Chains A and B, each alone.
Chain A
Amino acid sequence: MPKTLLALAVLAASGLAHAEMATYSIDPTHTFVTFEAKHFNTSTLRGRFDRKEGEVLLDRAARTGKAEITIDTGSIDTGVPPLDSHLKGKDFFNAAEAPVVKFVGDKIVFNGNKITAVAGSLTMLGKTLPVTLNARNFNCYTSPLLKREVCGGDFETTIARSQWGMNYGLNVGLPDNIHLLIQIEAIKQ
Chain B
Amino acid sequence: MGHRSRVAAFGAAGVFMAGLACAEPVTYTLDPVHTRVHWETRHFGTSTQRGRFDRVEGSVRLDRGAGRGDVSISIDTGSVSSGVPALDRVLRGKDFLASDAHPQAYFVASQWRFDGESLRELRGEFSWRGVSQPLSLHALRFACRIDAALQREVCGGDFEAELRRSDFGSTFGLPFVGDTVRLLIAVEGVRQ
Contact = CB atoms under 8 A, between A and B. Distances in A.
Given A137-B46, A154-B47, A79 B83 contact: no
B46 A141 contact: yes
A72 interface: no
A30 B187 CA distance: 27
B132 interface: no
Contacts of B54: 79
B36 interface: yes
Interface string B154-177: 111110000000000000000010
Chain A interface, >50% SS class: strand
Chain B interface, >50% SS class: strand
Contact of A152 (B38, B47, B84): B47
B16 to A, nearest CB: 22
A74 to B, nearest CB: 14
Contact of B49 (A143, A151, A183): A183
A143 B42 contact: no
Contact of A42 (B47, B83, B143): B143
Interface residues of A, number: 36
Contact of B188 (A42, A139, A140): A42
A48 interface: yes
Contacts of B181: none
A185 B46 contact: yes
A104 B44 CA distance: 26
B83 A43 contact: no
A179 to B, nearest CB: 12
A143 B158 contact: no
B152 interface: no
Given A39-B34, A154-B48, A183-B48, 19 more contacts: A28-B84, A30-B49, A32-B83, A39-B186, A40-B145, A42-B143, A43-B34, A43-B156, A43-B187, A43-B188, A44-B158, A45-B36, A46-B186, A79-B81, A137-B45, A138-B46, A140-B46, A184-B47, A185-B46
Interface of A: 28-30, 32, 34, 39-46, 48, 50, 77, 79-80, 83, 137-141, 143-144, 150-154, 172, 181, 183-185
